[in-house]
Structure 1
Amino acid sequence: MQQYLSQQKQNLTEEIRRACRREAAAMEQKNPRASDLFTLLADFSTRGKMIRGSLVSLGAGLVAGEAPPAALPLGAAMELFQSALLIHDDIMDRDTMRRGQSTVHHYYALEAAKYGTDDAAHLGESLGICAGDVAIFLAFSLVNEAGLIAGNHHELVGLFSREMSIVGTAQMSDVAWSDGWGDPNLAEVISLYRYKTGRYTFSLPLSAGALIAGADRRFRDLLEEYGELLGILFQIRDDELGLFGESEEVGKPIGSDIAEGKKTLFYLMLKKAAEGEALSVLERIYGKGKAGIDEVRQIRKIAVSTGVLSSVETMMDDYKRKAEAVLDQILSFGIGREPWSGYLRQLLDYVCRRNS
C-alpha cells in the first residue's frame, strides 16, 4: 500500500499544482496577490500524505478495477478541502506549526511583521482565512470538473456540499466545547469523531470514488460505514499521539490539545478516573493555554497510572473488530478487486498503528 500511496501522492501533487497554476494565470490580471497565494496553497496542500485524495481512487478501483479519469481532479479537490480546513483550524487553535513548517496564517504574520504592520498577528489570521476560503472555492471547481467527466455532476456536487457542511458543524461543536461552551459526554465525543473525522476523511472519498465508478447505494453505504469506523479509530489514535507522540513525528506541538482544553476521549476518561492530587494536576494544566513537556509528562503518568491508556487501547480493539466485520460485508459483494481490496484491509491496519 505504501507504494500505491506514494504513486497517488505524485499524481495528486501534479494535479494540484496544475489547478493552482491555472487559477493563478486566470487571476493574475485581477489581483497581484493571486500568484503568491496559489503557490502557497500548492506547496501547503502537497506536504501531507494525501490519504484522502488517494482514497478516491481506491473507492473507484474497488468498483471498476481501475481509477477512472475523474478520480484525479476529485482526489485533488479532497486535498484542497483538507488544506482549507487545516488553515482555518490552525487559526482557531492558534497553532504556528503544521507539517513541520509555519502554518499559513503564521507565515502571513511573519511576512506582515517585515513590513512593520501594527498588528501583524491579526493580519496574518485575516489573510489565512481568505486563503482557506480560496482553497474551498478551487476545490469545488475541481469537484465540478470531475462531475462533468464522470457524468454525475449534480449528485457529486450535492454529496460534497452536504459532507462539508457536516464537518463544519462538527467543528463548531469541537471549538465550543474546547472553550467551555457545553460539556460533552463520551457518546457525544465519539459522535464528533464519527462526523468530523470519519465521514470527511474516509467515508466521503471512498463513497465519492465508488460513485464516479458506478457503484450502487448499498455498496456505498457500507463503504461509508467502514469509513466512519476508520475515522473513530483514526481520531482516537490522533488523541493518543497528541499525548504520547513526539513533535517531530506528529508535525505539530505535543500538548496542544491539553493547552487548548480540547474535550478529547482522553480528557473525559482522565477526568472521570483521576482523584485527589491527580485530579488537581488535570485541572491546573488542561485548557490553560500552555502545556510544555513537563506538563505533558505529568498527564502521561496519570493516564498510565489510572488505567486510562489501557482502556483507550481496549476501546480501539473493539472498534477495529467492528470495522473488520463491515469490511467482510464489503468484500462479500464480490465487487472488491485486487489490489484494491487488499489496500482497503491495509488501511485499517495503518489507521491503528500510524505514528504521525
Structure 2
Amino acid sequence: MAHVLSVDTLHGFVAERLPAVRAALDAHVARAMTEIPEAGDDYRDLWATLGAQFDGGKNVRPSLALAAYAGLGGDEPEAIVPVAAAMQMLHTSMLIHDDILDHDEVRRGRPNVAGTRRAALAGSRLSPAQVEDHVMTAALLAGDLALSSSYDLISRAPLPAHHRIACLDLVTRAIRSTIAGELLDMYSGLTHPGDADPMVVCELKTAVYSFTAPMLAGAQLAGGDPTMVGHLEKIGTSLGISFQLVDDDLGVFGDPEVTGKSHLSDIREGKRTELMRLGYHRGSAAARDILDGALGNSELDEQGAARVREVLIGSGARGQALGVARRHARQARRIALERIPAPLSGYLVELIDALEERTA
C-alpha cells in the first residue's frame, strides 16, 4: 500500500478494511463452532449468539487500530486486520460482561446474549430461578469466549513474534485495567455518591481498552517510536474520559430510541458517575433528597427520573460534567494537532469531534 497522503485516503483505507475485519470475526466464530464436535448444539448456538453481537456497532476500536497503523506508515494491511478484529472481539467481551453487571438484556436496541437466551427459554418447563441461572450462564460464558478469542486472533495473526507478543501484552493490560475500573465502579455503590471518584473509573474502565490499546496496537505494527506511543497514549486517555462522560450523560438524558438503551437503568443501578457526584455537590438539600430517593431505586419510574433530570440540569451538574468532557476532548485534540503527523492527526480530530457531539 502506498503511504497515506490525506485524511480522505486514510478514511478510505479504514472503510475498505472494516469488511475484512468483520470477515475475520465471522471466520473465527465459524471455525470455533466446529472445532469441538462433541460439544453439541448448545455450544454452537452460543457461538452463533456471540457472532450476532458484532452487528450494529460503530467499529471505533478496529477503526482506530487500522487508522493508527496506516497513518504511521504501515503498508501490510493483512498484518493489522486480525489485530483490529481482536480489538473488536475484546470490546464485545467487555460489553457482554458489562451487561451482566448492569443487569441489562438489551444492547443497541436488540436482545443481547442474556436477552437472546431468555427469549429462547420462553415457555420452557424451567423454574424462574433455573431460567435466571441459564441466562446468566450463557452471558458469562459468551463473554469468556469473546475474551479468549481476542488472544486467539492475535496469536494466529501473520506477524513477527515480537509484534504478536506486544499486541498480546496490550490486550492483557486492557483487560486488567478494565477489571480494575469495573471493581471501582461496582464497589463505589458502598460509597456515598458525592464521595465517589468516577474520573478514575472513566480512565481505567473505558480509556485503556477502547482508545489507547487499539491505537498503540496500530502504532506497534507500524513501527511507531516511543515518543509517538506516548502521545497516542495521552490522546487515548483524554478521549476515553471525554467519551465516558458523554456516555454517562446519554445514560440519563439520551433518547432510548436512538441510544438503544434505557435512560432509567443507570439511575436504577445507582451508578456513581461524575454527573451524579456533581449533582450531590451542587444541589440543594431538597435536590439531594430527590437524588437519594432515586439513585439505586429499582422501581424508579419515568416521573421520578424526570425529577432527577431537573435536579441535574437546575444545579448545573449536567453543564459542568459536559464541560469536563469538552475540556478532555480539547486536550486530545490539541495533542493530535501538535504532536501527531498528518493525516492521522486530522483523522483523530474528526473522531474526537464526532464522539463529543454524538447522541448514541
Common fold by TM > 0.5: yes
* Alignment match of 2:139 (pick from 128, 140, 152): 128
- Inter-partner Cα distance in structure 2 for 1:255 and 1:4: 39
2:166 matched to which residue of 1? 155
Q: How does 1:1-356 map to 2 (within 5 A)?
A: 7-64=16-73, 66=75, 68-118=77-127, 119-146=130-157, 148=159, 152-178=163-189, 180=190, 185=195, 188-331=197-340, 336-338=341-343, 340-356=344-360
Q: How many residues align?
A: 349
Is the contact made by 1:106 and 1:125 (CA closer than 8 Å) also made in structure 2?
no
User: Which residue type is aligned with residue 277 of structure 1?
Assistant: A
CA deviation map 1:304-350 (0-9, x unaligned)? 2111122223223322222222213422xxxx343x33211101101
User: Which residue type is aligned with residue 337 of structure 2?
Assistant: D
- Inter-partner Cα distance in structure 1 for 2:71 and 2:15: 19
- Inter-partner Cα distance in structure 2 for 1:184 and 1:231: 22
Stretch of structure 1 that moved more, 252-261 or 318-327: 318-327
Is the contact made by 2:193 and 2:277 (CA closer than 8 Å) also made in structure 1?
no
Distance 1:198 1:147, change over 3 A: farther
In the superposition, the TM-score normalised over structure 1's length comes to 0.91
Is the contact made by 1:147 and 1:157 (CA closer than 8 Å) also made in structure 2?
no
- Inter-partner Cα distance in structure 2 for 1:194 and 1:318: 15
CA deviation map 1:143-172 (0-9, x unaligned)? 212373575222221221122111111111
- Inter-partner Cα distance in structure 1 for 2:32 and 2:194: 42
Distance 1:320 1:238, change over 3 A: same
Equivalent residue of 2:35, what SS?
helix
- Inter-partner Cα distance in structure 2 for 1:90 and 1:286: 19
Is the contact made by 1:57 and 1:67 (CA closer than 8 Å) also made in structure 2?
no
Distance 1:133 1:97, change over 3 A: same
CA deviation map 1:83-124 (0-9, x unaligned)? 111111111111121111112112212323433212202211
Equivalent residue of 2:243, what SS?
helix
- Inter-partner Cα distance in structure 2 for 1:154 and 1:233: 30
- Inter-partner Cα distance in structure 2 for 1:95 and 1:215: 39
Distance 1:65 1:76, change over 3 A: closer
- Inter-partner Cα distance in structure 1 for 2:161 and 2:78: 8
Distance 1:161 1:147, change over 3 A: farther
CA deviation map 1:130-151 (0-9, x unaligned)? 1111111111101212373575
User: Which residue type is aligned with residue 348 of structure 2?
Assistant: L
- Inter-partner Cα distance in structure 1 for 2:253 and 2:82: 36
Shift in Å, 1:70: 2.0
User: Which residue type is aligned with residue 182 of structure 2?
Assistant: Q
- Please list every run of 5 or more consecutive structure 2 residues that lacks an aligned counterpart in the other structure: 1-7
Equivalent residue of 2:329, what SS?
helix
Shift in Å, 1:65: 5.3
> Which ranges of 4 or more aligned residues in structure 1 deviate by more than 6 Å?
1-5
Distance 1:280 1:323, change over 3 A: same
- Inter-partner Cα distance in structure 2 for 1:247 and 1:138: 31
- Inter-partner Cα distance in structure 2 for 1:149 and 1:16: 21
Is the contact made by 1:74 and 1:143 (CA closer than 8 Å) also made in structure 2?
yes
- Inter-partner Cα distance in structure 1 for 2:160 and 2:38: 29
Equivalent residue of 1:146, what SS?
coil
Shift in Å, 1:197: 0.7
Shift in Å, 1:205: 0.1
Shift in Å, 1:34: 3.0
* Paired-residue identity, %: 26
